[in-house]
């Protein structure tokens, strides 16, 4: 059976999946997206991802293309049809197809919905054992990073810069010298005073769903936790650091630019990673 995609009401071969040339997602990046991880037939934090999708759609005044419960059914169908028990499902909703014009099209233009899947066995990543390098770059994004928009060109430029520096991720730095977040992840440090720090969820960052789960785990374990800005200098002086996202879980950071924090992942990071894995194992299999 060929790999399938879902495009506006139809399951189609992935190789033939397409949207209209005047889809506003293609023309303007006028849309939102979510990536949901699947581990052993378990959706990880599905409700959180759909809640955030609802918020992003509301901020851009885009209607749901189908009811939320119908979307969940379609997601499960696509994963089952593609026989994906470990991997990701990507869903994107745009304002739809309309003659090219910067202002919104007339009411009644249906939103576009596209979904794809990919097999990934997350536990095979060597990054969990070895840790990764991140670099710091200027944050050149727009001022509504809390919306999970498809307009990701600055993120792509930053990710490419990280790749060329043989780094896993780029942590973006605001004009005030403080780190906002990674190009596709949230940034965390553990200070010498044993405070776990990450940026507060303002319009300057995307409020990661994995981030929220890690905060809950830290609270349950009595870990001292603070949401506040932290500088590049503070990050380089940290005892530990890690990055988090739906696809990277809790990935240890052992080097920031030319500063080596450690030769191996730190104990708090490993503890949170293992606790996150245990959290996933307790989820109900729904595929």
Q: In this predicted model, what pLDDT tens digit does every residue of 57-88 receive, in sequence order?
A: 999 999 999 999 999 999 999 999 999 999 99
Per-residue b/e over 220-253, b at no fewer than 16 CB within 10 Å? eeebeeeeebbebebbbebbbbbbbbbbbbbbbb
Q: In CATH terms, are 4-121 and 127-281 the same topology?
A: no
Q: What pLDDT is recorded for position 12?
A: 98
Looking at 77-177, which runs of residues are DSSP E strands?
Answer: 87-94, 112-119, 132-138, 169-173
Residue carrying the six token digits 């060597």: 126
Fold of 4-121: D-amino Acid Aminotransferase; Chain A, domain 1 (3.30.470)
Q: What pLDDT is recorded for position 144?
A: 97
Alpha-carbon distances, residue 246 vs 123, 167, 186, 237 (angstroms): 13, 19, 10, 27
Catalytic-residue membership of 236 = no
Taking 50 as the pLDDT cut, the residues of the chain under it are none
Q: What pLDDT is recorded for position 125?
A: 87
Q: What pLDDT is recorded for position 122?
A: 84
Show me where the domains of the chain are located.
4-121, 127-281
Superfamily of domain 127-281: D-amino Acid Aminotransferase, subunit A, domain 2 (3.20.10.10)
Residue of 41, 103, 130, 148 with catalytic role: 148
Quick check: 96 and 24 in contact, CB under 8 A? Answer: yes
Q: In this predicted model, what pLDDT tens digit does every residue of 9-52 receive, in sequence order?
A: 999 999 999 999 999 999 999 999 999 999 999 999 999 999 99
In 3D space, the residue among 230, 277, 273 whose CA is nearest the CA of residue 251 turns out to be 273
Q: Does pTM surpass 0.85?
A: yes
């Amino acid at each position: 059976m060929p790999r399938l995609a879902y495009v506006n009401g139809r399951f189609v071969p992935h190789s033939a999946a397409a949207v209209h040339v005047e889809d506003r997602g293609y023309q303007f990046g006028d849309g939102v997206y979510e990536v949901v991880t699947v581990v052993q037939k378990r959706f990880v934090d599905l409700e959180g991802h759909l809640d955030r999708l609802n918020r992003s759609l509301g901020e851009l005044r885009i209607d749901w293309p189908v009811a939320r419960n119908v979307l969940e059914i379609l997601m499960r169908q696509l994963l089952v049809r593609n026989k994906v028990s470990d991997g990701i499902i990507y869903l994107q909703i745009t304002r739809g197809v309309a003659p090219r014009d910067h202002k919104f099209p007339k009411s009644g233009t249906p939103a576009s919905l596209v979904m794809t899947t990919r097999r990934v066995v997350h536990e095979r990543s060597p990054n969990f054992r070895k840790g990764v390098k991140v670099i710091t770059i200027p944050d050149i994004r727009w001022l509504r990073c809390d919306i999970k928009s498809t307009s990701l060109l600055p993120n792509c430029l930053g990710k490419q810069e990280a790749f060329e520096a043989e780094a896993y991720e780029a942590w973006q730095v605001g004009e005030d010298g403080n780190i906002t977040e990674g190009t596709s992840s949230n940034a965390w440090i553990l200070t010498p005073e044993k405070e776990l720090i990450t940026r507060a969820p303002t319009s300057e960052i995307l409020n990661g769903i994995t981030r929220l789960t890690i905060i809950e785990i830290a609270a349950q374990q009595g870990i001292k936790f603070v949401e506040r800005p932290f500088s590049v200098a503070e990050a380089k002086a940290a005892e530990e650091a890690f990055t988090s996202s739906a696809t990277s879980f809790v990935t240890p950071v052992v080097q920031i630019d030319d500063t080596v924090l450690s030769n191996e992942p730190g104990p708090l990071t490993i503890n949170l990673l293992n606790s996150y894995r245990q959290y996933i194992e307790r989820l109900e299999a729904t595929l």
